[in-house]
Amino acid sequence: MSNRAVHTDRAPEAVGPYSQAVAVELAGGRKMVFTAGQIGLDPSTMQIVEGGIEAQTRQVVSNLTAILEAAGAGWRDVVKSTVFLADIQDFGAFNEIYAEAVGDPLPARSAAAVRDLPKDCLLEMDLVAVCNG
C-alpha cells in the first residue's frame, strides 16, 4: 500500500500542514481518496465567497470536484461525505445543492451543526472516494 498527496490549483491551497487530499493505492488496482475539509474559499482570492449558504455550498462542491478530478476520481466514486454546518437551519438549502452534485448510488453521509468553523464560514465538507487506480 502506498499513498500520495493530491494537489490542484483549481481548489484552495492548504492553509496548514495538510494536503488537499491523499490517494491511497490498494491491492487490485483500486485506490481510496480522502479529501481534506473544504470551505467556501474561492481559490483565486482565498476569500470566502459571498451569497450565503447557497454560494458557499456551490464553492465547496466546486473545490471538492477539482480535488477529486486531480486524484483521478469523481462524485460517482464518493462513498462517504461528512458535513459540518454552522447553522442546522441551513441544512435544507445545503441539501438541495448537494443533491445536484452526487449521483447514484448516494454516498453515506454524516451532517452536524457545530459551534465554529474556519473563517466564519457556513459549512465544511470532506469526502472519501473509492475508484480504479
The CATH number for 82's domain is: 3.30.1330.40
Confidence tier at 58 by pLDDT (50, 70, 90): very high
Q: Domain residues for 10?
A: 2-132
SS3 4: strand
Alpha helices for the chain (secondary structure H): 52-70, 91-101
Model confidence over 87-114: pLDDT tens digits?
999 999 999 999 999 988 999 999 999 9
Tell me the residue length of the chain: 133
Residue 2: CB atoms within 10 A of its CB come to 8
Whether the link from the prior residue into 105 is cis, omega within 30° of 0, is yes
pTM of the full structure: 0.96
Residue 2: pLDDT band with limits 50, 70, 90: confident
> For residue 27, with 0-12 CB atoms within 10 Å meaning exposed, 13-18 middle and 19 or more buried, which class applies?
exposed
Domain count across the chain: 1
